[in-house]
Amino acid sequence: MERVGENNLVFHPTKAIDMAITHNLGFPRIGAKRELKFALESYWKGESTLEGLKAVGAELRARHWQDQEGIDLVPVGDFAFYDQMLDMSFTLGNLPERVRGLEGDVLDNYFRVARGRSAAVADADAQCGGVAAGEMTKWFDTNYHYIVPEFTAETEFRLDASRLLEQLAEAKAQGIQTKSVLVGPVTYLALGKTKDGSDRLALLDRLLPVYRELLTTLAAQGAEWVQIDEPILVTELDEPWRHAFEVAYHELKSAPVKLLLATYFGTLQDQCYLAANLPVAGLHIDAIRGRDDIVPLLNLLPSNKILSLGVINGRNIWKTDLNAVLDWLEPIQQQLGERLWIAPSCSLLHVPVDLTSERKLDGEVRSWLAFAKQKLEELRVLASALNQGREAVRSELDANRAACEARRRSPRVNNPEVKAAIARIDARLGQRQGPYAERAAKQAERLGLPRFPTTTIGSFPQTSGIRQARRQLKAGEIDQAAYTEIMRTEIARCVREQEALGLDVFVHGEPERNDMVEYFGEQLDGYAFSQFGWVQSYGSRCVKPPILFGDISRPKAMTVDWITYAQSLTDKPMKGMLTGPVTILNWSFVRDDQSRAVSCRQLALAIREEVLDLERAGVRVIQIDEAALREGLPLRRSQWGEYLDWAVECFRITANGVADETQIHTHMCYSEFNDIIASIADMDADVITIETSRSDMELLDAFDDFNYPNEIGPGVYDIHSPNIPTVAHMVELMRKAAERIPAERLWVNPDCGLKTRHWNEVIPALTNMVVAAKTLRATL
Ligand code: GLN
Ligand code: ZN
């Protein structure tokens, strides 16, 4: 690429003026076959060498650049062994105090900071080489988790550009036209946390010289374009943070590179002016979610700036309607000429790598999909159409039109009965018959539970026997009848153990469920499953979200046989166990042809039928898990209300068709309720079980302050830890709970399901829990 004069304009040497340039913001690094995952885990287990791991990293980078061939500017520096934010912390020399001075390879130190689980479990089992793991949290509204940068008032930064320079050199050697990728300084600070209560924004002055040095260093190695990610710009920023953008980019303006400021995941709204006028060479925006920004931006953007439009959705797995995008883009190209760049909306980190690996996916559904490699192909087609006219890619455009049309018209997507049922939804559907107080009295009489009733959250250990049976069933080594028999034996074991423990409300243990969403998705019409559709969740962990492609319906009951079998083995109430519609939605790839709210209502109606079937089968207690309700909150607080309205409505539709005597439980495994407590109360579940053990019951303050009216089971036992909780500790926690919530509305239960634990941990822990409940009954 050449530099053109003083006016900050650039063009590709092989392209004439007026041609749209294509680029990519980031490529999935885990590998089409999850090579990085397996290499990491083997290294962590001591089964392979650091050199071996580094070689896999280099191989993946080389392959992925190859995969992006034909894109004008390919991202470099988007590869990370664990997390791109942690890479940035290392680049900036911002390592937590506790790993400084440690000996050994930098990458080993990096893993010391990285390893551990989510933020929620950081203190439990995140010990690695005696160093506490860094806290982890969700990257905006994706299911990717980053390691939170840690700051104190004393934090100093020092450049270590080695990783970026090495990757840049590799790419150049491969003949790649590069664009280096960094997390921008304001987003880096905004997503971090200070450990001493100091103001992290005060660190900006110390941070900027290091960024400038980094840009200068990259330029010296031949980097011309640098993509600097500032997605924080799509969230609500107060004045000091907006000002930080001005300060930062005026400071960086003198660096000898061209900066492409990248925002994604949302709209700039009133930050359009700010984003348009920062002194950078180009601005990238998410033209899927942020389309409303385009008109104002076209007016605001200074005439020397590149505008990069993210027109291919980097957050879903659907084919783009290329003709529709062209209809929209061509007039913009007329206006912008060579200042128009096109790209995916965000990094492709959030989609699987390659659709061609899929051998078992239903052919019809498959023809509607595009994974990362296919999305880049779409981008190439768009660029050809823009640069040479649509005729140049007529056959690709026609094939794409045919696929999009087929999807729109498919009876697999459109089910008139479901649409009619959605149209019939009215408020009564979500309304319990009686108010909580009346229901509670009827349920108490029917269930005859003691004070401080004990229960568990649903799953019991998923033993190797269970996993083996599932493998054998899949491989055709055992038939369905044999599998069912093995699962029934497991259920019987769970019931026996619960009898022996003396618990009050039983569960069947969920042995038959591989995953709380996939299990239901597999039984609902409108869902498809990929074989290799893995997306990185954190570190080496990946998830394979089910694909919600059509109107949702439930051909037959999904859980009733298992639960009635379990109930037949005991007189104690057996909980029916379901995953709620909001959680199923939030953990799936969802449709782009209807709103999330509509898809969620369809799920709600389907799960509601299951609830009613369970009730008809005599099940007295039904739990509907909404583990991911909070996760779906939009990035901007101004949109929270709308989301919560339909999410709560969907839960109510699912749960509230039952008689007063039927007790509805819900479960949420997180510990932040302050800002959504009114919505939680609105769900009107008779009992909610939540995660509290690590917050010392303080989170119950939110329930207390709100005068939360129904029953609560605050988790007293941290299931993420192998430690056996003591009776005294659990009694103490429940006493604290009773200071906030009247004792007659408290349940005693663990924080979450027990599937990841071993029986030899679960039995002593629950034994202590039951003793704790008895102690409470005797003393409170
Ligand atoms: N019922 C589920 C279980 O016990 C709930 C899991 C969850 O909340 N994540 O496994
Ligand atoms: Zn949970």
Ligand 1 pocket member 625 (CB < 6 A): yes
Residue 513 CA: nearest ligand 1 atom is: 10
- Contact assessment for residue 734 and residue 696, using Cβ atoms and an 8 Å cutoff: no
Taking CA atoms only, the protein residue closest to ligand 1 atom 8 is 627
Ligand 2 centroid to Cα of residue 750, in Å, is: 9
Per-residue pLDDT, 8: 40
CA-based R_g, the chain, Å:
27
- The three-class DSSP label of residue 370 is coil
CB of residue 627 inside a 6 A radius of ligand 1: yes
What are residue 621's DSSP bridge partners? 575, 663
Mean pLDDT, rounded, for 679-694 = 94
- Is residue 582 scored above 70 in pLDDT? yes
Q: Which tens digit of pLDDT belongs to each residue from 452-475?
A: 999 999 999 999 999 999 999 999
**Would you say the CB of residue 87 lies under 6 angstroms from ligand 1?**
no
The CATH number of the domain covering residues in 21-96+134-409: 3.20.20.210
Protein residue closest via CA to atom 4 of ligand 1 = 753
**pTM, full prediction:** 0.93
**Binding-site entries for 5-methyltetrahydropteroyltri-L-glutamate:** 34-37, 138, 143, 541-542, 587, 631
**pLDDT digit string (tens) for 220-229?**
999 999 999 9
Ligand 2 geometric centre to CA of 362 (Å) = 32
Phi, psi of 543 (to 5 degrees): -125, 155
Atom of ligand 1 nearest to the CA of 456: 4
- Which residues partner with 27 through β-bridges? none
723-774 pLDDT, tens digit each: 999 999 999 999 999 999 999 999 999 999 999 999 999 999 999 999 999 9
458 lines ligand 1 (CB under 6 A): yes
Secondary structure of residue 306 in the 3-state scheme: strand
Closest atom of ligand 1 to CA, residue 457: 4
Closest CA to 395 of 323, 459, 292: 323
CB 120 less than 6 A from any atom of ligand 1: no
DSSP 23: B
Smallest CA-to-CA distance from 608 within 680, 658, 563 is with: 658
Span 379-387, average pLDDT:
98
CA of 738 to the centre of ligand 2 (A): 22
550 lines ligand 1 (CB under 6 A): no
Q: Is there an atom of ligand 1 within 6 Å of 688 CB?
A: no
Strand partners, 179: 75
Instruction: Give first-to-last CA distance, the chain, whole Å.
Output: 76
Beta bridge pairs of residue 261: 228, 283
Ligand nearest to the CA of 715: 2
CA 465/CA 487 separation, integer angstroms: 10
Averaged pLDDT, 155-184: 97
Residue 129's pLDDT is what? 36
Q: What is the per-residue pLDDT for 131?
A: 58
CA distance 374 to 67: 10
Q: Give residues with Cβ within 8 angstroms of 338, minimum separation 6.
A: 9, 11, 17, 18, 19, 20, 21
Q: Which ligand is nearest to the CA of 669?
A: 2
Select the more confidently predicted residue: 502 or 11. Answer: 502
Tokens encoding 538: 């954190």
Mutate to test the pocket of ligand 1, among 456, 506, 510, 537 (most ligand atoms within 8 A of CB): 510
pLDDT reported for residue 496: 98
Residue 215 Cβ contacting ligand 1 at under 6 Å = no
Average pLDDT score over residue span 57-77: 97
Q: Is a pLDDT exceeding 60 seen at residue 4?
A: no
pLDDT of residue 122: 34
Q: Identify the pLDDT of residue 71.
A: 97
CA of 446 relative to ligand 2 center, distance in Å: 27
Strand segments (E) across 195-251: 225-229
Q: CATH 3.20.20.210: does it fit domain 440-778?
A: yes
Listed in order, the ranges of the chain carrying CATH 3.20.20.210 are 21-96+134-409, 440-778
Q: How far is the CA of 706 from the centre of ligand 2 (A)?
A: 23
Edge-first strand order for the sheet with 282-286 is 21-22, 340-344, 306-312, 282-286, 258-262, 225-229, 178-183, 74-76
Q: 132 falls in which pLDDT band (50, 70, 90)?
A: low
User: What is the rounded average pLDDT of the residues 324-330?
Assistant: 98
Local structure of residue 131 (DSSP, 8 states): E
132 CB-contact burial (10 Å; exposed 0-12 / middle 13-18 / buried 19+) = middle
| Contact indicator for 204, 185 with CB cutoff of 8 Å | yes
pLDDT at 10: 43
Mean pLDDT of 323-340: 96
CB of 577 closer than 6 angstroms to any ligand 1 atom? yes
Decide whether any atom of ligand 1 lies within 6 Å of the 576 Cβ: no
- State the pLDDT at residue 195: 87
The ligand 1 atom at the shortest distance from the C-alpha of residue 755 is 10
Ligand 2 center–CA 667 separation, angstroms = 6
Percentage of the chain lying above the pLDDT 90 cut: 90
| Nearest ligand, CA 510 | 1
Q: Which residues are annotated binding-site positions for Zn(2+)?
A: 667, 669, 682, 691, 752
Of the listed ligands, the closest to the CA of 515 is 1
The protein residue whose alpha carbon is closest to atom 9 in ligand 1 is 627
Q: In the structure encoding, which two tokens stand for residue 230, read together?
A: 């500032």
Q: Whose CA is nearest to atom 1 of ligand 1?
A: 458
Does 669 sit in the ligand 1 pocket, CB within 6 Å?
Answer: yes
Could you list the active site residues?
Answer: 720
- Give the C-alpha distances (Å, rounded to integers) separating 558 from 249, 554, 664: 56, 8, 18
For position 17, what pLDDT does the model report? 52
| DSSP state letters, 679-716 | HHHHH--SEEEE--GGGTTTTHHHHHHTT--SEEEEB-
| pLDDT tens, residue by residue, 227-244 | 999 999 999 999 999 999
Give the pLDDT score at 124. Answer: 32
Half-sphere exposure of 748 (CA within 13 A, CB side): 34
Q: Is 457 in the pocket of ligand 1 (CB under 6 A)?
A: yes
Q: Whose CA is nearest to atom 6 of ligand 1?
A: 753
C-alpha distances in angstroms, 416 versus 419, 596, 654?
5, 18, 20
| Cα 577 to averaged position of ligand 1 atoms, centre (Å) | 9
Ligand 2: centre distance to CA 753 (Å): 6
The residue whose CA is least distant from atom 3 of ligand 1 is: 753
Residues, Cβ < 5 Å to ion ligand 2: 627, 669, 752
Bridge partner list, 310: 286, 343
Ligand nearest to the CA of 459: 1
For ligand 1, whether the C-beta of 762 sits within 6 Å is no
As for the ipTM of the complex, it is 0.99
Reduced to 3 states, what is the DSSP secondary structure of residue 444? Answer: helix
Give yes or no for residue 751 CB within 6 A of ligand 1.
no
Residue 698's pLDDT is 86
What atom of ligand 1 comes closest to residue 753's alpha carbon? 4
For residue 575 and ligand 1, the question of a CB distance below 6 A is answered with no
Cβ proximity of 624 and 578 under 8 Å: yes
- Asked whether the predicted pLDDT for residue 13 surpasses 60, the reply is no
Annotated binding residues, written as ranges, equal 34-37, 138, 143, 457-459, 510, 541-542, 587, 625, 631, 667, 669, 682, 691, 752
Q: Please give the distance, rounded to the nearest whole angstrom, from the Cα atom of residue 622 to the centre of ligand 2.
A: 16
From the CA of 690, which ligand is nearest?
A: 2
CB atoms within 10 A of CB 356: 12
pLDDT in tens, 484-515: 999 999 999 999 999 999 999 999 999 999 89
Chain-wide mean pLDDT for the chain? 94
Are 352 and 372 contacting, i.e. CB atoms less than 8 angstroms apart?
Answer: yes
207 pLDDT above the threshold of 90: yes
Distances (CA, A) of 538 to 83, 144, 324, 666, 713: 7, 6, 35, 27, 29
Q: Residue 443 pLDDT more than 60?
A: yes
In this predicted structure, the answer to whether residue 177 has a pLDDT above a threshold of 90 is yes
Which pLDDT does position 696 carry in this prediction? 84
Which amino acid is present at 10? V
How far away, in angstroms, is 709 Cα from ligand 2 center? 22
- Map tokens 């003793």 to a residue: 771
Helix (H) or strand (E) holding 541: strand 541-543
Q: Which atom of ligand 1 is nearest to the CA of 579?
A: 1
Helix or strand (DSSP H, E) at 212: helix 204-220
Contact present, 653 and 601 (Cβ < 8 Å): yes
Percent of the chain with pLDDT over 70: 96
**Known binding positions for L-methionine:** 457-459, 510, 625
Phi/psi of residue 672, nearest 5 degrees: -120, 110
Q: Identify the residue whose C-alpha is closest to ligand 1 atom 7.
A: 627
Mean pLDDT, residues 550-557 taken together:
98
Q: So what's the pLDDT on residue 100? A: 77
Q: Is the pLDDT of residue 695 over 90?
A: no
